[in-house]
Amino acid sequence: QVQLVESGGGLVQAGGSLRLSCAASGSIFSINVMGWYRQAPGKQRELVASITRGRRTNYADSVKGRFTISRDNAKNTVYLQMNSLKPEDTVVYYCNADVGTTYYGGLRDYWGQGTQVTVSS
């Protein structure tokens, strides 16, 4: 079993910052891509940022220049530094990781439970 545990969400004023963390644990042999998604009520889940094992990154246009994704491979942890937060960033954020649990098997996606970010105007 693999678990992703998220932390760092909360309430912040517009223009403020938060740092989300997501630690993967369990029967982990390797992790390729890790990422952060968000989902507003009544809307589809969307990619916020992703990062490969080699630390190549991708960002949604709406967060470029404000958010930074990073990872610590030794700790199996991915981070999302969120600066210049806006009220429209208010949503549940989900951690995702593409994990291999054996030497022989392929990778599969795992998801965190979600953490709420609320930005007040």
Each residue of 43-68: pLDDT tens digit?
999 999 999 999 999 999 999 999 99
For 3-19, write each residue's pLDDT tens digit.
999 999 999 999 999 99
The answer to whether residue 1 scores a pLDDT higher than 90 is no
**Mean pLDDT for the stretch of residues 30-51:** 95
Report the alpha-carbon distance of residue 10 to residue 44 in Å, rounded: 22
Report the alpha-carbon distance of residue 7 to residue 114 in Å, rounded: 9
Is 45 exposed, middle or buried (CB count within 10 Å of its CB: 0-12, 13-18, 19+)? Answer: middle
**DSSP codes joined into one string, 8-76:** --EEEETT--EEEEEEEEES-SEEEEEEEEEE-TTS--EEEEEE-TT--EEE-TTTTTTEEEEEEGGGT
Mean pLDDT computed over every residue of the chain? 96
Dihedral Cα 46, 43, 120, 96, nearest 10 deg: -30
**Mean pLDDT for the stretch of residues 94-111:** 95
